[in-house]
């Protein structure tokens, strides 16, 4: 039976300012190589700049939290559709939009996206790891490490490379909000802790470190478990 890998693909990598086709090509090449070694992939797409642009625009008409969440959710689904099409025949034609969704998955790759208000794509990644028996979630984005506090506000923030869930939860806000930017969202983190799941935080551009994480080797980033 092929080993299942769950990757939370940050929207900042898909759509940093415009669609980054060069990055997606390199990412797909890596996944293809790992598939040839007997692995399967669940890839959950985030919303990134696309979601935030829509959310910022919507605030001029409706700043209600659920409305902002829904426009973000649909942004993740558009990103997932794009990545699915880029994978071609390697990817299942469906996109998982709920952890309860029944899928007929015979291909080596399947995409996932946002579910419902109050649940981030990180949360979906954790739920799908649970459902498909993965031992960890690999979170790739424009964040390189977990820090002891926000490094943008505090120059003395310390890099943390190997931490437990209680330490991580003490460094981030307690509550999820639409557009929240943390390495891994609070609800997803609490869920991962309850499942004794590992989460690896890796800068998306460091594809060799992603490869190392996939193969359970030491990598440059933060391991939470």
The lowest-confidence range among 122-131, 169-178, 189-198, 209-218 is: 169-178
Q: How far apart are CA 148 and CA 170, in angstroms?
A: 9
Residue of higher predicted confidence among 209 and 65: 209
The lowest-confidence range among 83-97, 142-156, 174-188 is: 174-188
Is the predicted pLDDT of residue 222 greater than 70, yes or no? Answer: yes
The lowest-confidence range among 81-90, 94-103, 170-179, 200-209 is: 170-179
Mean pLDDT, rounded, for 14-24: 96
**Arithmetic mean of pLDDT over the chain:** 94
The structural domains of the chain, ordered by start, are: 3-224 (3.40.1160.10)
Query: How would residue 151 be classed by pLDDT, with cut points 50, 70 and 90?
Result: confident
pLDDT, residue 173, reads 80
pLDDT, residue 74, reads 98
Query: How would residue 84 be classed by pLDDT, with cut points 50, 70 and 90?
Result: very high
Is the predicted pLDDT of residue 179 greater than 60, yes or no? Answer: no
């Amino acid at each position: 039976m092929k080993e299942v890998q769950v990757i939370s693909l940050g929207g900042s990598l898909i759509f940093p300012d415009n669609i980054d086709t060069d990055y997606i090509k390199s990412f797909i090449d890596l996944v293809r190589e790992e598939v040839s070694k007997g692995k399967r992939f669940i890839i959950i797409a985030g919303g990134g700049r696309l979601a935030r642009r829509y959310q910022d625009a919507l605030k001029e008409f409706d700043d209600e939290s659920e409305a902002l969440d829904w426009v973000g959710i649909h942004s993740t689904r558009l990103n997932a559709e794009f990545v699915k099409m880029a994978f071609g025949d390697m990817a299942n034609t469906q996109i998982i939009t709920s952890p309860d969704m029944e899928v007929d998955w015979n291909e080596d790759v399947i995409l996932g996206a946002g579910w419902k208000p109050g649940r981030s794509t990180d949360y979906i990644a954790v739920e799908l790891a649970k459902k498909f028996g993965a031992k960890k979630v690999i979170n790739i984005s424009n964040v390189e490490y977990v820090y002891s506090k926000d490094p943008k506000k505090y120059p003395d923030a310390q890099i943390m490379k190997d931490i437990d869930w209680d330490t991580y939860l003490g460094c981030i806000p307690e509550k999820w909000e639409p557009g929240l930017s943390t390495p891994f969202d609070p609800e997803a983190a609490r869920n991962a802790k309850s499942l004794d799941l590992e989460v690896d935080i890796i800068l998306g551009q460091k594809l060799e470190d992603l490869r190392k994480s996939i193969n359970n080797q030491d990598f440059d980033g933060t391991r939470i478990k």
